[in-house]
Structure 1
Amino acid sequence: MKISLCLIVWNELQGCQADVPNLPISEFDEVFAVDGGSTDGTVEYLESQGIKVHRQPKRGLNAAYVHANEVATGDAVVVFFAKGTLPTGDLLKFRPLFDKGNDLVIASRQLPGSVNEEDAHFFRPRKWAVMGLAAAAALVWRREGPWVRDVLHGFKGWKREAFKRMKVLDVGLSIDIEMVVRSYKLRISRVEFPTQEISRGYGETHFKIWPTGKRLLGYLWFELRRND
């Protein structure tokens, strides 16, 4: 099996400078990036490291994943967000799980042995929101196989043919929970493994919890009425 590694980036120069030197590039058959319109030197840095950068033709997180699946040449794609918050060594865990027959592989911050950036705090609104969405999605749509605890983590991999079957939307930012829900509905094999996330050392997240949450609830309402 050939596996492509895709970096999803948007003004992440500092994160790329921290993570790119530690990427296990030799373990992948292809490495490229999909950029959402960076203006901080991210693209220039990646190109200086020999990483081809594809400018996504449409804005949005869903569009970035869709474009990654389209331009990849491997049988499977692993996406990684270079923010300096996740262990690059976990990239080595995907191939064995694909080889076991899994079509969707998710690095989870909600399993035993994992670490979420909010775990050091008493109030964990983002973590609790993810757990609530995960439970609701599993209750409504899962009919077989394991249920996914971390439905909003972008650090994941998939087989390209399975992604095509999902027919995900190419607009919005529902892609992470959408892939889980579609895997439930289409009975696509899935698995999680624990990862350890630390807080960002610079900047702020692009996805604020309350605005993002409202848009995700809108997606779930759409999926409830979707027939395929």
Structure 2
Amino acid sequence: MIRDAAIVLLTLNEVQGLNALWDRIPRDRFRELVAVDGGSKDGTREFLAARGVPILDQTIPGRGVAFRVAAEACHAERLIFYSPDGNEDPDDIERLDDLLIGGARLAIASRFARGAVNEEDVSPFRPRSWANQGLTALANLLFNEGPWVTDTINGFRALRRADLLALDTSVKRFPIEYQISIRSMARRWPIAELATNEGQRIGGASKALSWPVGKDHLKVLFSELHNAKPLRD
């Protein structure tokens, strides 16, 4: 049975990852497969076009914009956001959709849940992991009234198209996932996680520079404080 869901590929110069992972993406089990491309110049667009994948262009750069472009263009009920860069395990795409089918309003592939693997686990110095866990703890303490969410920031996630539109997100860049998590918590939506195995990046370099991105996440946190638990009805 074809899932009433769309796999949304988030791409910016990811041709090496696409070449390595393409055959593992469960393309034939989903109603839609689209790519939101931020202006690739390494052959990514040609790779996708040769395989008949619709490419949605961004007139404004940024990961948050890409989420909204996908929500406005897709027709499927559910959206699974996947970056083919090697960090995200394509075997989890269907598992995320299953969590939505099971009743979750937001499904997250967690790098910090019991049994998960984070790409920094190979190193004793884990600045990204520590920053992520600190920001996640703040979000839980300030906004969450349900079970503790272990990874509020990972972009490998799924939610219903209508829910993404209803969240009325405003972030243009990387903290989009953090804003989605916080606003879902504030609405008391059921959030489900699965333990994922984060691999090493294939080609290129990470586009999320730790300090600037960390500051952007804190700005999002402060901007959402009006929805914090003590201020709710």
Normalised by the size of structure 1, how large is the TM-score? 0.95
Which residue in the other structure is 2:129 paired with?
127
Which residue in the other structure is 2:62 paired with?
60
Structure 1 residue 89, shift from structure 2 partner: 1.2
Which residue in the other structure is 2:200 paired with?
199
- Residue 121 of structure 2 aligns to a residue in which SS? coil
Q: Which moved more, 1:116-125 or 1:79-88?
A: 79-88
Residue identity (%) = 34
Which residue in the other structure is 1:174 paired with?
175
Which residue in the other structure is 2:154 paired with?
153
Which residue in the other structure is 1:208 paired with?
209
Q: Does 1:219 align with 2:220?
A: yes
- Residue 133 of structure 2 aligns to a residue in which SS? helix
8 Å Cα contact 1:66/1:170 also seen in 2: no
Q: Distance in 2 between matches of 1:57 and 1:70?
A: 14
Which residue in the other structure is 2:50 paired with?
48
8 Å Cα contact 1:108/1:153 also seen in 2: yes
- Residue 152 of structure 1 aligns to a residue in which SS? coil
Which residue in the other structure is 1:108 paired with?
110
Give the CA RMSD over aligned residues: 1.6
- Residue 118 of structure 1 aligns to a residue in which SS? helix
8 Å Cα contact 2:89/2:196 also seen in 1: yes
Displacement over 6 Å in runs of 4+? none
Q: Residue type matched to 2:17 in 1?
A: G
Q: Distance in 2 between matches of 1:169 and 1:137?
A: 18
Structure 1 residue 156, shift from structure 2 partner: 0.5
Q: Distance in 1 between matches of 2:180 and 2:29?
A: 25
Q: Does 1:86 align with 2:91?
A: no
Q: Residue type matched to 2:78 in 1?
A: A
- Residue 54 of structure 1 aligns to a residue in which SS? strand
Q: Deviations over 1:15-48 (max 9, x none)?
A: 1111122211111111010001111111110111
Which residue in the other structure is 1:13 paired with?
15
- Residue 29 of structure 1 aligns to a residue in which SS? strand
Q: Gapped runs of 5+ residues in structure 2?
A: none
Q: Distance in 2 between matches of 1:211 and 1:7?
A: 24
Q: Does 1:74 align with 2:71?
A: no
How many equivalent residue pairs?
A: 227
- Residue 2 of structure 1 aligns to a residue in which SS? strand
Q: Gapped runs of 5+ residues in structure 1?
A: none
Change (3 A) 1:215 1:95: closer
Structure 1 residue 85, shift from structure 2 partner: 2.7
Structure 1 residue 94, shift from structure 2 partner: 2.2
Normalised by the size of structure 2, how large is the TM-score? 0.93
Which residue in the other structure is 2:184 paired with?
183
8 Å Cα contact 2:152/2:181 also seen in 1: yes
